[in-house]
Amino acid sequence: MKSSLFIKILREKKLLLPPLSGYTDYPFRVILADFKPPFIITEMANARAIVQRNRRTMQILKIAEGKQYNGVQLVGSIPEYMSRAAKIVEDLGFDYIDINMGCTARKVACRGEGISLMKHEVRACEIVAAVTDAVDVPVTCKLRLGPSKQSMNVVALSEKLVDSGAVALTIHGRSGEKKFGLPVDLRIMHEAATVLTIPIIANGGIYTGSDAQQMIQATGAAAVMPGRGLIGNPWIIPEILSTISKTSFTPPTLQKKKEICRKHLDLLVDFYGERKAVLKMRSILPQYFSSCFFLKDLKLDVQQASNVSDIPMLLERLDDTKGYTIYDKNKK
């Protein structure tokens, strides 16, 4: 995919999906593809592990069929591994490459990867230059406002990343000292969108179509990226797309949610096997029904699930009563 096409679609559709480690795996990307997003991206994949063809990392790189453009997010700190991994994923057929500069997980940051790259600007630029040299597909970066409140360097660093070859930047509107606890700072994202010559994708705290619309208005960003709002809610894709294009959106019925959740389970079983599928469902299933009454009971019960057959039983206990979804733990 050429950078000009990437930017054209990004500006037109105004929506990119997030990398979510542990969630945007192949099974969920298959589900997401059915909702016709313009772009889908993998969870972060370690560059060195790709170069070494690590089996579990290569699993991350399976492309979901669909009309969308597919991205892969690379995490790493060594330009040579990053560029070699980039070439490998380009050859696999990915349409764009994103570089993780925002992950605050200790095992990532302590290796000089993720958010650490915002502290080491020269290294961050070397990586972008090496990756853009190695591939023809567009290269983007995903950053936070800065490593900490005391060091909000996203605008200055972004200008250097543009000079190094990045064609668009996602900014998660929080600094790095807390994972997700801080309020999103729209002001700095607005400054970045004003100063920079390339499109900015605004991220942080988007859970609805109207959140997306407000984010674009407040920041002047070219596009938005939901985050946790996508987990258990692929309907956020048509919701955001229709809000932006001023068309109507019909929220899913409970029956539809159950159907997609069930399909998600089946895809997890096919991809990982039954044991891992059930473990994954423990965190995924409650997200599909996060507004139901007695959610606590549902969460407790799904923690007890040990067989795949337990999951449809839990879904059976969800009912619609006068427009509210209720989980009835006593229903047999």
Please check whether residue 197 is in contact with residue 162, taking contact to mean a CB–CB distance below 8 angstroms.
yes
Does residue 27 interact with ligand FMN by CB under 6 A?
Answer: no
Longest dimension (CA), the chain: 62
* Shortest distance in whole angstroms from residue 306 CB to ligand FMN: 23
Among 9, 15, 16, 20, binds ligand FMN (CB under 6 A): 20
Q: Enter the tokens of residue 262.
A: 């069930």
Q: How many helices (H) and strands (E) does the chain have?
A: 16, 9
29 binds ligand FMN (CB under 6 A): no
In the bound state with ligand FMN, the residue whose beta carbon lies nearer, of 164 and 233, is 233
Q: For residue 216, give every residue at least 6 positions away whose Cβ sits within 8 Å of its Cβ, in sequence order, or none.
A: 14, 202, 223, 224, 244
Residue 205 makes contact with ligand FMN by CB under 6 A: yes
Using the structure block, give the residue that is written with the tokens 């019909």: 250
Binding residue (CB under 6 A) for ligand FMN from 14, 29, 172, 257: 172
- Residues forming the active site: 103
Residue 160 parent element (H or E): helix 154-164
Q: Which of 38, 102, 146, 234 binds ligand FMN (CB under 6 A)?
A: 102
Angle at 284 between CA 108 and CA 210, to 5 degrees: 90
* Residue recorded with tokens 């990307």: 29
Backbone torsions φ then ψ of 171, nearest 5 degrees:
-115, 115
- Cβ(215)–Cβ(187) below 8 Å: no
Residue from 18, 37, 146, 286 binding ligand FMN (CB under 6 A)? 18
Q: Min. distance of Cβ 173 from ligand FMN in angstroms?
A: 8
Residue 77 CA neighbour count, 13 Å, CB half: 17
- Is residue 264 close enough to count as binding ligand FMN by CB under 6 A? no
User: For the window 42-81, what string marks contact with ligand FMN as x by the rule CB under 6 A?
Assistant: -xx----------------------------x--------
Site for ligand FMN in 183-202 (CB under 6 A): none
Footprint of ligand FMN on 269-328 (CB under 6 A): none
Query: What are the residues binding ligand FMN (CB under 6 A)?
Result: 18-23, 43-44, 73, 100, 102-103, 142, 172, 180, 203-206, 226-229
